[in-house]
Homo-oligomer: A and B are copies of this chain.
């Protein structure tokens, strides 16, 4: 309460709190009164209290998410895949592949090289969200079939982005991990549907989402009973224009502190520039990322999308060697 709050104002706030279903504890200091509400506050809209007469600030003490909180699974979540790979455990997983699936040759060449270098997942987009209606929009399900075949032939898991509810069903046979893109992090209907699916979900942080909002979004999936959620830091929007986004490496230790879910670093979208990708991939693993996801292409300069941030396969192979050393520094393996 404000320093000049009257007894009437204090009583009115107490009444409002009781009406909202919370117990009230009052602390009266020399200059100020503090009212603490205790009870089921997760679904409470706190801002309405802020405007009551005499109120100075309203703070939420308990976190607004439940299932995503560290306390729900203090030992941490380890997501297991059919090829024995895990995300969230002792091993640092590596997901690599082109931004867009373009052809059979592209996917098989990529899969072979990714596997040989030590990668564990093959990525590739079949449905592409593009800012401009005039840009390439993806190959769709036929592309996914190609990717899945290339992944399986090389012992890799397949990960691809789902953009809307109607795509879930047709994608199911061809992906091992559903990716939700940054633009859909708050597409709550889609998240709720993915909560009903029994396949892991890779949830990317929105372009300007807080870590708390990312955890709240994961709650939509978790509350449907799908506990295999993997988060992903892919760069946030800031005032700096030297890079496409500012990759928030500190989100990695923050998520590990607040939540039991694993977190992946995406240095390709995090920087938008091929010549920064390796630096930021190394930084992500050094900061404790459970996996990295990078764009690679056998002919990176001609990639149908995101060419500028796509690594050459040779660069990827060199990077893998560096990551192997860094993983040991944080007590892990690649």
Residues of A within 8 A of B (CB): 2-4, 23, 25, 27, 29-32, 34, 36, 38-39, 42-43, 45, 47-48, 50-51, 56-57, 59, 61-65, 71, 129-135, 163-165, 183-184, 186-189, 192, 207-208, 210-213, 216-217, 219-220, 223, 236-244, 246-254, 257-258, 270-276, 279-280, 282-288, 301, 303, 305-309, 322-323, 325-326, 328-330
Contacts and interface: CB of A to CB of B under 8 A. Distances in A.
Contact of A287 (B135, B257, B282, B325): B282
6 contacts: A64-B131, A132-B216, A132-B219, A210-B241, A237-B237, A246-B250
Given A57-B59, A236-B240, 5 more contacts: A32-B62, A34-B38, A208-B208, A282-B330, A286-B286
Contact of A210 (B32, B39, B239): B239
B325 A328 contact: yes
7 closest Cβ pairs, A-B complex = A208-B208, A29-B38, A47-B308, A286-B286, A325-B329, A25-B27, A283-B283
A2 B257 CA distance: 12
A136 B121 CA distance: 38
